[in-house]
């Protein structure tokens, strides 16, 4: 089993409609090919983790790489894993836009600031830590089909 994590910049300002579009079409495809994962979206960037078999993760990453809705794709990690972190999620979408000020300040203090929002980190441990911090904040907008 493998996990890929990457960060990219959206070509258009991100909002829920755009993120939902991606999640809605991803969820059934990912379930079909045994891929699980999470997609974080700020107003400007994506951070995505994908877990599954070597061939499946690679095939999906190739499709995503070609997608013209984003650019500046940066590979954060490609790791062998013993177990999935995102079991049960074909693709969980989490938006970090319109956060309450207190939470945003806390996360900006911890992870840094980029384009007026929380910086999505380029280190694997920090990326997983941010995903986990955000997952634990139940009041955040989380979208699941």
Interface contacts to ligand FMN, rule CB under 6 A: 22, 26, 29-30, 39, 46, 48, 60, 63-64, 67, 69-70, 91
Helix (H, G, I), strand (E, B) or coil at 122: coil
* Least spacing, CB of residue 10 vs ligand FMN, in Å: 8
* Least spacing, CB of residue 102 vs ligand FMN, in Å: 28
> What are the residues facing 9 on neighbouring strands?
45, 71
Gap between the Cα atoms of 77 and 95, Å rounded: 22
* Least spacing, CB of residue 131 vs ligand FMN, in Å: 14
Q: Which is nearer to ligand FMN, 42 or 48 (CB)?
A: 48
Q: Which is nearer to ligand FMN, 45 or 119 (CB)?
A: 45
The rounded Cα 104 to chain-centroid distance in angstroms is 17
Exposure b/e, 40-62, CB count within 10 A at least 16 = b: bbbebbbbbbbbbeeebbeebbe
Q: Which is nearer to ligand FMN, 43 or 106 (CB)?
A: 43
Q: Which is nearer to ligand FMN, 109 or 141 (CB)?
A: 141
Helix (H, G, I), strand (E, B) or coil at 39: strand
* Least spacing, CB of residue 87 vs ligand FMN, in Å: 15
């Amino acid at each position: 089993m493998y996990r890929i994590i990457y960060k990219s910049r959206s070509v258009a300002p991100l909002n829920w409609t755009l993120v939902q579009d991606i999640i809605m079409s991803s969820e059934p495809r990912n379930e079909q090919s045994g891929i699980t994962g999470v997609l974080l979206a700020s107003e400007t960037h994506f951070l995505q983790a994908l877990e599954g078999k070597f061939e499946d993760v690679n095939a999906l990453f190739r499709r995503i790489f070609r997608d013209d809705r984003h650019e500046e794709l940066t590979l954060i990690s490609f790791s062998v894993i013993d177990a999935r972190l995102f079991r049960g999620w074909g693709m969980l979408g989490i938006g970090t836009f319109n956060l309450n000020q207190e939470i945003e300040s806390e996360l900006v203090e911890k992870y840094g600031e980029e384009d007026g929002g929380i910086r999505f980190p380029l280190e694997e441990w920090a990326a997983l830590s941010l995903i986990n911090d955000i997952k634990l904040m139940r009041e955040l907008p989380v979208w699941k089909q």
